[in-house]
A = this chain, B = another copy of it.
Amino acid sequence: MQFTKAEEYGIFGVLYLAEKDRAVVTPLSEISKAQNIPEKFLAKIFQSLSKSGIIRSHRGVRGGFTLAKDPSEISVKEVLETIQGPYHLMKCLGDFKSCTMNKVDFCPLREILLIAEKRLVSVFDEYTLSDLVKWEKARTAAT
């Protein structure tokens, strides 16, 4: 529900890959060091990302990770949801049954949360990793 370290780390992890050539295999240790992320934590995150087909893993000597698709085809939403599951402002938004109070039939708060969440998630769906990389490059070029 909230923005968590895992998500932040995940984004920066894939972003690091997105900034390189897709063919370059990058070990976890390098990413972890470059982005200041606890290595084991990033490992767990990358495991999920690998399973869901966003990145590809390569074991053995000189192994590591590469992006599985082009950065322009990976939405921010995709990355975030892979890491922490569907983003919900409150559990009941995914399933009305999980309402903690006993609003079995109707809940005005839920209505407004649905609207809010829809707008929120749409932002993450609109942007891709290549957008982020673009912004960063534009910024460093400007200075």
Contacts and interface: CB of A to CB of B under 8 A. Distances in A.
Interface of A: 1-3, 5, 8, 11-12, 15, 35-36, 76, 89-90, 100-102, 105-106, 108-109, 111-113, 115-116, 119-120, 122-124, 127, 132-133, 135-136, 139-140, 143
Nearest to A143: B105
Nearest to A118: B123
10 contacts: A8-B101, A105-B139, A106-B139, A108-B133, A108-B136, A111-B132, A111-B135, A112-B132, A116-B120, A119-B120
Q: Chain B CB within 10 Å — which of A5, A100, A115, A120 has the most?
A: A120
A81 to B, nearest CB: 14
A123 B132 contact: no
A116 B109 contact: no
A36 B89 CA distance: 21
Contacts of A135: 108, 111
A36 B119 contact: no
Given A1-B3, A106-B139, A119 B123 contact: yes
Contacts of A136: 106, 108
Contact of A8 (B12, B90, B133): B90
Contacts of A76: 112
